């Protein structure tokens, strides 16, 4: 690498480092989520039973009360990220994309 090329490279590396440090300060970037695992039996992405409720409140504060069909235990799931769509078709398409990219096997153990 020529001295001028090295100087340009180091300048770009320094800018990239500064940019990454700024991104790390963003609380949205720092939100850590857990994989969908039953806290009782450890089943990854378990098949669950959920009962609809008549509860109301801010969408971001809803929790999911679920029963794991692997072990039968009840637990609570708190979604940290939501995708809101207009139709059931849109939701199905989004779920299909998520399943393909997530590495989870659709709750099949």
Whole-structure pTM value = 0.60
Q: Are residues 8 and 39 in the same domain?
A: no
Same domain, 98 and 46: yes
Assess if residue 8 is contained within a domain: yes
- One domain for residues 44 and 92: yes
Domain that holds residue 96: 32-102
27 and 37 assigned to the same domain = no
Judge whether 109 lies within some domain: no
Tens digits of pLDDT across the chain (109 residues) = 677 777 776 777 777 777 777 767 765 655 567 788 999 999 999 999 998 888 888 888 888 999 999 999 999 998 877 889 999 999 999 988 888 877 665 445 4
Instruction: Note whether 23 and 8 are same-domain residues.
Output: yes
Q: What Å distances lie between residue 31 and 16, 18, 24, 98, 109, CA to CA?
A: 21, 20, 10, 19, 27
């Amino acid at each position: 690498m020529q001295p001028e090329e090295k100087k340009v490279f180091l300048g770009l590396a320094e800018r990239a480092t500064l940019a990454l440090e700024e991104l790390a300060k963003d609380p949205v970037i720092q939100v850590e989520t857990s994989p969908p695992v039953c806290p009782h039996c450890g089943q990854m992405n378990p098949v669950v039973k959920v009962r609809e409720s008549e509860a109301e409140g801010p969408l971001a504060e809803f929790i999911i009360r679920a029963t794991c069909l692997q072990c039968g235990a009840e637990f609570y799931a708190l979604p940290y990220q939501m995708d809101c769509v207009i139709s059931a078709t849109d939701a199905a398409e989004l779920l299909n994309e998520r399943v393909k990219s997530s590495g989870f096997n659709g709750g099949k153990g």
